[in-house]
Amino acid sequence: MRKKVLLLVSEKQILDILTFAAGREGYEIIRSVNGAEGPELAACQKPDIIVLNLLPPMDSFETCRRLRDHGATVPIIILASSAEANETESFRELNAGIVRKPFAMKELLLQISDTLRFEGDGFVDEHIDSSPQRHLGRIIIDLEKVLVTKDGTALALSKQEYDVLELLSSEPGRVFSREELLNRVWNYTAYLGDSRNADTAVRRLREKIEDDPAHPNIILTRRGRGYVFVQQ
């Protein structure tokens, strides 16, 4: 099963870059620009690791404290300036790792992979469901078997249709741009201005999962922005 990385990053441009880079490494990404959402996202999504780069008033250190207070025991990496990094007592108190800014993306990805390799189970919850299934109302995605069912009936999806659905459903309610779909499903390294691959895959996917493909209510279009998965 893919490891989950929760990115809490105030600046959207940096968040998009980190999302793309970590996504290419095969991680499932949960993301937000709002540190206040951190404890709820961590409790709900149960990430394997959390990366913080937040600005005041809800800065990385305050968010980290709140995460720990709410029971998060997963590894936390704080992207910190040299001045912040010198506050070693703060890092020890919060049991957080550090990557000094500016940093090479390779350095951050290496620290994430190394940390995940040596850490344990993470978030404490006696009711954690260890099943490799993503339950999304009428839709169930078995990530281990690479199988999608709707109302108990298996759907015959192509690899690209499955990958698009798996990505969109990884964060219900979040709008994924066509550029991001092309990057993360087709592994394009740059946006080529041709969104037909993404649009065609979404259209065919709708034909298989929607009750009425002409009037979709599971995968919606946000004009000028992209596509969003809505849990039924």
Please give the average per-residue pLDDT across 167-186, as a whole number.
Answer: 84
For residues 232 and 137, the answer to whether their CB atoms sit within 8 Å is: yes
Domain boundaries, the chain: 4-118, 133-229
Arch. (CATH architecture) of 4-118: 3-Layer(aba) Sandwich (3.40)
Please give the average per-residue pLDDT across 136-145, as a whole number.
Answer: 86
Backbone angles phi, psi at 172, to 5 degrees: -55, 135
Whether the per-residue pLDDT at 128 is higher than 70: the answer is no
Could you count the other beta carbons within 10 Å of the beta carbon of residue 68?
Answer: 16
The pLDDT tens digits of the residues spanning 57-108 come to 778 888 998 998 888 888 999 998 877 766 655 666 777 888 888 888 888 9
Residue 219: predicted pLDDT: 94
Whether the per-residue pLDDT at 56 is higher than 90: the answer is no
Distances in whole angstroms, Cα of residue 128 to Cα of each of 5, 49, 132: 17, 16, 12
The pLDDT tens digits of the residues spanning 188-229 come to 644 444 567 888 989 999 999 999 999 999 999 988 888 999
Look at the domain 133-229 and name its fold.
Arc Repressor Mutant, subunit A (1.10.10)
Contact residues for 185 (Cβ-Cβ < 8 A; gap 6+): 160, 163, 164, 167, 198, 201
Beta strands 133-136; 139-142: pairing state: antiparallel
Residue 148: predicted pLDDT: 92
- Note the pTM of the prediction, 2 decimals: 0.53
Whether the per-residue pLDDT at 29 is higher than 80: the answer is yes
Whether the per-residue pLDDT at 55 is higher than 90: the answer is no
